Amino acid sequence: MCLMDNLSVLVARAQRGDKDAFGELYQLFYRKIYRYCLIHTNDIQLAQDICQETFVRAWKAMPSFSEKNGGTFQAFLFKIARNQLIDNSRKKKESRLADYQNLEDRENLEERVYRHDAIDKVRKALGKLNEIERQIITLHYFEDFSGEEIARVVGMNEGAVRVRTHRVLVKLKEILQAEE
């Protein structure tokens, strides 16, 4: 049985209420969801909370998930996570740009341990993009999502995502060059 078949079986079991199957899905995806939340929040505690809440919501929404029309469980999870990030951003009433630019103010010891130069520079550059552009870059470049999966997460059509991806990559490179 291939990985995708195995994933489909786990999803079907979880949809029927099997918590162990959902636990296996959690083990497969929590790392991805966490790092995705972290790059967008730059806050370990918050990224952890959003990651956990994403899985709670995914469990509730499992019966409505369908693989028909090319839907993937990964895109389903990331869409929930993205909505959580947007909700969180609204709640805090702080601009996303400020979050990205004031990195030093928010650093704690644990963050200092893992932070590296390259990702910090890119994170700062991401702060100069809008929310959709940041999502597209993260999903396309860092997570290797297909155009269809990105379209599902950000709620755009696939064609528009393809065009936007190319433009945003160029824009990000320009920002990075300007800062060098």
- Report the interface residues with another protein, using CB under 8 A: 15-17, 19, 22-23, 26-27, 30-31, 34-35, 38-39, 44, 48, 51-52, 55-56, 59-60, 62-64, 110, 113-114, 116, 118-119, 121-122, 141-142, 172-173, 176-177, 180
Single-letter residue type at 153 = V
Nearer to another protein, 31 or 106 (CB): 31
Task: Kindly state the smallest distance separating residue 88's Cβ from another protein, in Å.
Answer: 17
Q: What token pair was written down for 7?
A: 């994933």
- The burial class, CB within 10 Å (0-12 / 13-18 / 19+), for 1 is exposed
Q: How far is the CB of 47 from another protein (least distance, A)?
A: 8
Tokens found for residue 148: 């269809």
**Amino acid in position 11:** V
Q: Which CB, 159 or 170, lies closer to another protein?
A: 170
> Tokens in use for 149?
């999966």
